[in-house]
Each structure stands twice: as C-alpha cells, then as structure tokens.
C-alpha cells in the first residue's frame, strides 16, 4: 500500500482545478491507471461512446445519517471522477406527531399540560437519549468482547427515524435546476437505519467427509486460503436460505428477506462467518422512497440500489488503497457521535465494531488505543495498513495512528480518493468527510458493470422500487372520445332498461304471491290462526319490553362525555383532567383560567362544586376544581327516533290487496258464524 504524500493528508484538492460542467480528461497526477481492466484505445468508438454516456449522465449518491442527508453528484470522465455538486440537508429530529392546537389559550400561549414540556440535554442533532446519560453508554461497545462468537450484535442505538421525503425531493429539485434531471440515484444507510449481525455457519458432515478424503488437497486448500481468503476461503458455498434461517435464530427483530445482504468474513475456529446487513425496524428510507414516487415529477426517478456504510467503506478502501492478500487493514471512521472500526484480513472482512462512546471529541491517543484494543481482542496480527476518515482533526488522527503503528502505512481515505482521480468541486475545497459514503455509492453505481469492481454486490432496495413508474399516455383522438361517449350512454340505457324490467317482474310476483294456494275457511282453522297471531303479538310485546329495559340508560356515559365536552367548550378555557363515575353520577376534576368559567361549567353540567383551589403556573392563574354532576338514565335518542319513524310508517301503511279486490271480502260461510 502506498503512503499518501503529506500534502494529500493535510489538504485535499490542491492538485486539481475546478470541476464544473466541463470535465478534464487528463489523468491524475500520480499516473493512476483506469479502474477498468479492459484496455481500449483512447480513440476507440467504444471508449468514446462510454465517455459521452458518462458525461451526459451523472450519478447521485446519497448518504442518510441520523441527523442529515448528504448527497453528491459524480460524473465519470475517462480515468477521473468529477464531483459536480455536493448537497447537505438537515434531517428533522422531531417525531412525526401533530401538535395539539386545541390546547392553546385565546392569547395564543400553550397551556402547561403534562406533555407540553420537553427537556433536551446537549445538541438536538446528536440523538442523545436519556439512556445515554449514564456511564453505561461509556462501556456499551465492550459488552461484546466476552460474548461468544456467534452472539455478535451491533450496538446501534434504538431510536425511531423520521422520513426523508422532503430532503430527497429538495436535492433532486436542485439537481434538476442545475441541468441534471432525474439522475440515477443510489443510497447508503448508516446506523441506526441498518444493523450488522455476525453469523456462524456450522459445517455439514457430508462436506467435512468430502474435504478429508485427500490430505494433499486439504493442505493445498489451506495454503491457498492463506494466500487469498477472499477468492477461495476453503469452504463450500452456503445457500441463502440457510443464512436466512441462521439469521432468524440470531436476530430478534422482524426483517424483509429480500432486503438482507450477507458479506463473507474470515473463518474462525474452523467455522464460516458471514456479516448480515439488515435494515432495522426503525429504517424509513423505503417508506420515504415510496412517498417520493407519489410526488409530482418524481415518478420516473431511477433508484439503483441501497447499500450500507460498512460495505461501502470496505469497497472504497479496496479501490483507493490496493493491498496484498496477506496484509491486515484497519479502517477507522470517526464521527461526531460514534466511531466505526472495520478490520480486514487481506481482501476479506474480519470484524466490525461500532463504538458509540468514542467520537471526534476524544483525543487521538484515546481513539488509537481503543482500535489497538479491538485488534488484540479480535486476534488480528500485525496491522499493515490504517485508513482514517474523520470530519475533524483528521491530520492529528493520521499522525496518532502513525505513532501507534510505526511499521504500518497510514493514510486518509479522502486523500486516497483524490489520488485515484476523484476531483473535488473546487481547487481550494476538499471532499467533505460526510459525503464520502455518498461518493462511494456513486462510484459503485458507475462501476457496477465492471467485472473487477471492488464493491460488494449489496442491494437492499425493495423490488417494488427498482422499476420506474411511468405515466400512462391517456391522450386520445376526437373520434375515439365520441365512440367512448356513445358506448357509455348505450351501456347506461341498457342497464336502466334491465333494472326497470326487473322491477316490473318483482311487482307482478308480489301480486301473485298475495293469493294463497289453498284457503281453509273452517271455523277451527281460522280460530287457530287468530290464536297464533295473538300469541306472536304477546311474545313480540314481551321482547320489546325487555329490549326497552335494556336500552334505558345504555348510553348514559357517552351522553355524559358529550355533555361534558359541550359544556367545557361552551365555557371556554376549561380542561377536565379526571372523569370518574360516583354514587351521584360523575365526579370530575379539572382546571380553568377563570373562576367564573368554573361556575359557568358547573351550571351547564347541573352539578355542584365540591372543591375549588387557586394556583399560578408560569405566572398565569389556574383554578383547580372538583364537582359532582348527575347522569340520568334515559332512552337513547336513536331508539326514540326509530320508534317515531315506526309509528309514522304504521300510520301511513295501507293494506296490500290483490288486484280486483280481496277474494274473501264477500265470502259468507255458516261455519264461520258457528
């Protein structure tokens, strides 16, 4: 690994001019070769085609953190990658809850209620919760040291993240205003939107027996494993279903199987290891992208992929700092809230450690000692390369790691990117540290079709968002519109005719059904029918009486609540805090800003004031009161309304007679009189 010059470590962008709309195609100062392994002539049509395509289609990389959204617009030009424009939008730190506007006084000041006051310790953007105020947060990253190897869990904080719809739309609108409409967009997630789970895979007996058939082949495989653990770690391939089943055992939260990625890790104690990259339940990017697609003009924005911070940093390090297969590399990303340590053995991931209590506010010696501790705990031998990424005091960190690792090559990741041809947007403006993962997403998108891409093939973007939603062309000619209108009215006519005929048929059927099939006009038969009707009438009346007894007072509590709400709103500036049934009806406690309003509220409730006290809150008078109000048992208004409607219907109902008169009206039989 080449050590960066001092100028690269202290100042970025000093060797390149402004990179605006016209992109320079000259090679970088160190003569770095193109990333692609295909050798093409500068004048070949394929390379010219690729250059024109890259110049006309920049890629937008977006890095979503817990407090901000960072974007970077990158365009490829030959062997260089120009940063056209950086973006930064602060992320909302408030919960997505609508404030209670009804709790405002007429003067416009919020009243002092139980949920009105929020005490914030420290910076709101730091995401510091009440749990982090105790010393437990200082040692949270050391909990996994003594844990078993298969019980690795990331120590990311659990907090609900807010959607980033408006931030993304603002960035895309700014890209469109700059002349780059709907660029291909790729996203990188950080903690707590993504979690990392280490999985241990046990060998099958069949695989073990096949491996032990030949000692010679086993020794050869072991030697090859030591030479290049990334290409052939000496283990058979593991099916994704098996990894998902193992993840369900180790990970407690629900997850979408299609959005989980698995990164191979170095074996430990003869067992295969994988790092599962899982979007956390608090992740809101997928929901934000769905909402963004519904915005005007955003339906056809191409979303390429969603990756995580660890795979992107590993890919950038592989590309910017090529190493030998036997070398160990430590990637240290120091932020304002946490520190991420990634250990590599050759080209393969060995360990990931997220330290929440270590940040840029700590001294370089503290950070270096914590990294050295992780190196010893994880059993990593000599560290040959150290790559540092920090937004503040990066030079001091580089010098500190150089002192802790005198035999290692120490460099800054931003300097390595500049050396590989990533041109900053200005000659005296460096690459912001917060946008490095976004640059990684843009480079990954540009290099995704290359066979030797240094980035992992990770895509946590839901399948439903990978395709563009195109608007349907609903424009029609005039004759098509006329034919459609005629067809509509024709269908409407025949549907109306059908329902009219069905009504006539039903009416005729009702007249036919009015005639009884057989008429029994004997006296005992008629008397039996009369008795049956009278018994049915008595049963119905008894049932109605029981229903009436059940209905009376059934809605007295809902009526009491409605009456209380109406009385409090009519009185004004009266709040009821307690509403408890009592022997007399209701016992209510509440507050008011005026004593007259308490009296007015008691009169509207027909209640009596039992207790009244006065206090001042924020220099405003507050009257605490307790009153008893009666609640009467009455028939529900709905039941009364239905009874009135039934009585009106009975009064207006006419008996149904067959056409031509009742056939029994003029019938006279002596048996009936008997």
Which residue in 375, 372, 328 sits closest to 347, CA to CA? 328
CA gap 417, 317 in Å, rounded = 9
Indicate the DSSP class of residue 33. Answer: P
Radius of gyration of the chain (CA): 39
Residues 6 or more apart whose CB falls under 8 angstroms from that of 551 comprise 635, 636, 639
Global pTM? Answer: 0.54
Whether residue 638 contacts residue 661, with contact meaning beta carbons closer than 8 Å, is answered with no
- What is the DSSP code string of 205-218? HHHHHHHTS-HHHH
Q: Name the β-bridge partners of 62.
A: 71, 187
* Residue 283 burial (CB count, 10 A): 21
> In 3D, which of 57, 81, 85, 58 has the Cα closest to residue 71?
85
Q: Measure the CA–CA gap between 148 and 398, rounded to whole angstroms.
A: 33
Bond into 192 cis (ω within 30): yes
Q: How far apart are CA 343 and CA 350, in angstroms?
A: 5
Tokens encoding 625: 């009161």
- State which residues of the chain have pLDDT below 70: 1-56, 93-161, 203-235, 426-429, 468-475, 517-521, 553, 650, 653-674
Helix-helix angle 364-377:394-404, to 10 degrees:
50
Q: How many CB atoms lie within 10 A of CB 259?
A: 18
> Among residues 398, 358, 448, which one has the least CA distance to residue 61?
448
What is the Cα–Cα distance from 118 to 115, expressed in whole angstroms? Answer: 8
pLDDT of residue 219: 55
- pLDDT reported for residue 277: 94
Structure-block tokens of residue 78: 């030959």
| CA nearest to 440, candidates 465, 426, 458 | 458
CA gap 562, 569 in Å, rounded: 11
Pairwise CA distance, residues 111 & 129, whole Å: 26
d(CA 4, CA 383): 17
Q: Maximum Cα–Cα distance for the chain, whole Å?
A: 130
Helix (H) or strand (E) holding 221: helix 215-227
d(CA 285, CA 308): 12
The predicted pLDDT at position 131 comes to 43
Looking at residue 218, its pLDDT comes to 53
State in Å, rounded, how far the first CA of the chain is from the last one. Answer: 124
Q: What values do phi and psi take at 266, rounded to 5?
A: -70, 145
Q: Count Cβ atoms within 10 A of the Cβ of residue 161 and give its class: 0-12 exposed, 13-18 middle, 19 or more buried.
A: buried
Nearest Cα residue to 64 out of 34, 88, 93: 88
SS3 633: coil
- pLDDT of the residue at 413: 92
Cα separation, 42 vs 26, in Å, equals: 12
- In tens, the pLDDT along 585-630 reads 788 888 888 888 888 888 888 888 888 888 888 888 888 888 888 8
Would you state the pLDDT for residue 101?
Answer: 35
CB 555 within 8 A of CB 561: no
């Amino acid at each position: 690994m080449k050590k960066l010059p001092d100028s690269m470590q202290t100042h970025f962008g000093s060797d390149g001019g402004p990179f605006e709309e016209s992109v320079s195609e000259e090679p970088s100062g160190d003569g770095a070769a193109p990333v692609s392994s295909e050798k093409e002539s500068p004048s070949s049509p394929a390379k010219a085609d690729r250059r024109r395509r890259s110049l006309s289609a920049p890629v937008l990389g977006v890095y979503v953190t817990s407090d901000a959204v960072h974007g970077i617009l990158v365009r490829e030009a030959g062997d260089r990658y120009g940063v056209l424009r950086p973006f930064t939008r602060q992320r909302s730190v408030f919960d997505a809850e609508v404030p209670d506007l009804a709790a405002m006084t007429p003067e416009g000041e919020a009243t002092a209620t139980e949920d009105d006051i929020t005490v914030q310790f420290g910076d709101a953007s730091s995401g510091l919760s009440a749990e982090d105020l105790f010393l437990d947060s200082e040692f949270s990253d050391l909990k996994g040291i003594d844990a078993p190897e298969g019980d690795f869990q990331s120590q990311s904080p659990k907090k609900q993240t807010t959607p980033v719809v408006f931030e993304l739309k603002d960035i895309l609108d700014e890209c469109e205003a700059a002349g780059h409409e709907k660029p291909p967009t790729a996203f990188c997630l950080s903690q707590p939107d993504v979690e990392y789970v280490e999985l241990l895979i046990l060998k099958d007996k069949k695989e073990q027996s096949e491996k032990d058939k030949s000692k010679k082949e086993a020794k050869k495989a072991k030697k090859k494993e030591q030479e290049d653990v990334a290409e052939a770690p000496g283990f058979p391939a593991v099916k994704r279903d098996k990894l998902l089943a193992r993840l369900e055992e180790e990970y407690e939260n629900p997850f979408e199987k299609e959005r989980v990625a698995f990164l191979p890790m170095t074996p430990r104690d003869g067992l295969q290891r994988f790092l599962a990259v899982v979007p956390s339940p608090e992740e809101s990017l997928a929901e934000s992208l769905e909402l963004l697609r519904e915005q005007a003009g955003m339906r056809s924005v191409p979303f390429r992929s969603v990756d995580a911070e660890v795979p992107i940093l590993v890919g950038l390090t592989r590309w910017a700092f090529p190493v030998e297969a036997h070398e160990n590399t430590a990637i240290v990303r120091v932020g304002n809230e946490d520190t991420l340590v990634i250990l590599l053995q050759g080209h393969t991931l060995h360990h990931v450690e997220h330290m929440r209590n270590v940040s840029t506010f700590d001294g370089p010696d503290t950070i270096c000692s914590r990294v050295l501790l992780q190196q010893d705990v994880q059993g990593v031998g000599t560290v040959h390369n150290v790559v540092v990424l920090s937004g503040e005091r990066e030079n001091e960190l580089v010098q500190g790691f150089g002192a802790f690792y005198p035999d290692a090559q120490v460099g800054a990741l931003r300097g390595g990117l500049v050396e590989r041809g990533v041109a900053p947007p200005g000659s005296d403006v460096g690459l912001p540290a917060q946008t490095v993962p976004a640059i990684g997403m843009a480079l990954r998108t540009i290099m995704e079709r290359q066979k030797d891409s240094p980035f992992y093939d990770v895509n946590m973007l839901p399948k439903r968002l990978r395709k563009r939603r195109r608007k349907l062309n609903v424009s029609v000619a005039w004759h098509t519109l006329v034919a459609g209108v005629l067809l509509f009215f024709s269908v409407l006519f025949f549907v109306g005719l059908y329902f009219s005929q069905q009504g006539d048929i039903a009416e005729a059927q009702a007249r036919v059904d009015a005639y009884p099939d057989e008429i029994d006009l004997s006296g005992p038969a008629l008397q039996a029918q009369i008795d049956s009707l009278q018994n049915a009438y008595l049963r119905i009346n008894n049932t109605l009486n029981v229903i009436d007894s059940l209905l009376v007072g059934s809605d007295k509590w809902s009526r009491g609540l409605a009456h209380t709400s109406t009385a409090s709103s009519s009185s004004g500036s009266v709040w009821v805090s307690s509403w408890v049934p009592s022997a007399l009806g209701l016992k209510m406690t509440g507050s008011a800003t005026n004593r007259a309003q308490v009296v007015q509220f008691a009169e509207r409730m027909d209640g009596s004031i039992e207790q009244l006290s006065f206090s001042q809150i924020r220099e405003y008078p507050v009257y605490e009161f307790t009153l008893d109000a009666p609640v009467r048992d009455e028939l529900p208004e709905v039941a009364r309304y239905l009874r009135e409607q039934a009585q009106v219907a009975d009064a207006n109902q006419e008996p149904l007679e067959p056409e031509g008169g009742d056939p029994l009206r003029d019938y006279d039989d002596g048996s009936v009189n008997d």
